[in-house]
Amino acid sequence: MHPILKVENLSHKYASSWAIREINFEINDTGVVGLLGSNGAGKSTTMNIICGTLLQTEGNVSINGLKMKEDPIAYKQQIGFLPQQAPLYLDFTVQEYLEYAAQLRLMEKRAIKGAVDEVLEKTSITHMRNRLIKNLSGGYRQRVGIAQAIINKPKVVILDEPTNGLDPNQIIEARKLIKEIAQDRAVLLSSHVLSEVNLLAKEIVMIESGQVVFSDTLDAFNNILQPNTMVARMLHMPGADELLAFADVQKVEMLPDHKCRIWFQPNDDLAERIVRKSAEMNWRLTAIHTESSGMDDVFKQLSSSSTLQ
């Protein structure tokens, strides 16, 4: 069984400088995979190679075992792509543009009308089919861009910053649409909005300095930085010295509302020991929880830990 998308030892050089070096990852199932990385990390180069718009210096990309280098036309028929700036022809109507997009993908003429009707309905723009694209709002233009990316029912859809420039309501609708699209195909989503990736993706691939620095599940990404602080609320708050007496506690900060923050060496039973001590000393513990580092912290650490040789 072949992966839906397989990227093998992908490298590309501009002049004498490597933009990416030995990129490896696979997408084995439907759903959204988040593609992360700082500006200039190599994401765009990687996406352009996967889409077949840039010929790599080394390595291979394949969809269901079909290699782009060996059969580029058949390979590209399995790809849908929405770049950051949607490639729209503003003087076309929505229907004319989608018919043109279908022809570019070498779809059979008899299948085009049904395909256009289907993507218009899926992206909720059927009522806009005869409207000139230049007269559409940004949200509707983005829907047209997504429609052209899925009109040929590709196995892989690549979306580059698909909610960029949209208002909050449009962002919510775009995210809902992306989830629907990902139900029966693999979606590679590139975004600088980490909260968006957190909401949509089940796996993460992160590229920094032209190399893959992470490729695993969203949960594994969020757990890279083990939290080492906890916050406790006690109505009869003990002194900092009493909390520092616990083994593994390094520092204590008193907070308003009967709370304190505790820095500690990783230890699975520290919270349990505090609960027992509170019951014994009548500290009246009402809440205790470990603080999470969050995606921003993980991204910051990974983006500063890799340098392309």
Q: Please answer whether residues 273 and 174 qualify as being in contact, where contact means their C-beta atoms are separated by less than 8 angstroms.
A: no
Q: Where in the chain is the domain with CATH 3.40.50.300?
A: 5-222
DSSP string, 132-147: BGGGS-HHHHHHHHHH
Res 309: pLDDT: 44
**Mean pLDDT, residues 110-123 taken together:** 96
Angle (nearest 5°) at CA 76 between 52 and 112: 140
Residue 231 to residue 246: CA distance in whole angstroms: 15
- 308: confidence class by pLDDT, cuts 50, 70, 90: very low
Over residues 244-270, mean pLDDT: 91
Q: What is the model's pLDDT at position 294? A: 67
The stretch 141-168 carries a mean pLDDT of 93
Beta bridge partners of 67: 62
Residues of the chain with CATH 3.30.70: 229-292
pLDDT of 153 above 80: yes
Quick one: average pLDDT of 230-235? Answer: 95
Q: What is the mean predicted confidence (pLDDT) over 216-235? A: 84
Task: Give the whole-angstrom CA distance, residue 221 versus residue 214.
Answer: 8
What's residue 104's pLDDT? 94
Q: Which of 51, 28, 182, 39 is nearest to 174 (CA)?
A: 182
How would you class 108 by CB atoms within 10 Å of its CB: exposed for 0-12, middle for 13-18, buried for 19 or more? exposed
Tell me which of 297 and 164 has the higher pLDDT: 164
135: DSSP letter: G
pLDDT, residue 225, reads 63
Mean pLDDT for the chain overall: 91
18 and 185 in contact (C-beta within 8 Å)? no
How far apart are alpha carbons 2 and 226 in whole angstroms?
Answer: 34
Predicted pLDDT at 293: 64
d(CA 39, CA 101): 30
Percent of the chain with pLDDT over 90: 77
Predicted pLDDT at 126: 96
Confidence band, pLDDT 50/70/90 cuts, at residue 241: very high
Report how far residue 9's alpha carbon sits from residue 46's, in angstroms, rounded to the nearest whole number: 11
**Exposure string over 88-100, b if 16+ CB within 10 A, otherwise e:** beeebbbbbbbbe
Architecture of the 5-222 domain:
3-Layer(aba) Sandwich (3.40)
Query: How confident is the model over 185-211, as pLDDT tens digits?
Result: 999 999 888 888 989 999 999 999 999
**What percent of the chain has pLDDT above 70?**
96
Instruction: Identify whether the C-beta of residue 50 lies closer than 8 Å to the C-beta of residue 79.
Output: yes
Q: What is the pLDDT of residues 261-281, one digit of tens each?
A: 999 987 778 999 999 999 999
CATH number of 229-292: 3.30.70
Tokens of 15: 């002049």
Give the torsion sign (CA, 103, 109, 111, 116). positive
Query: Sheet harboring 31-36: ordered strands across?
Result: 79-82, 156-160, 186-190, 31-36, 203-208, 211-217
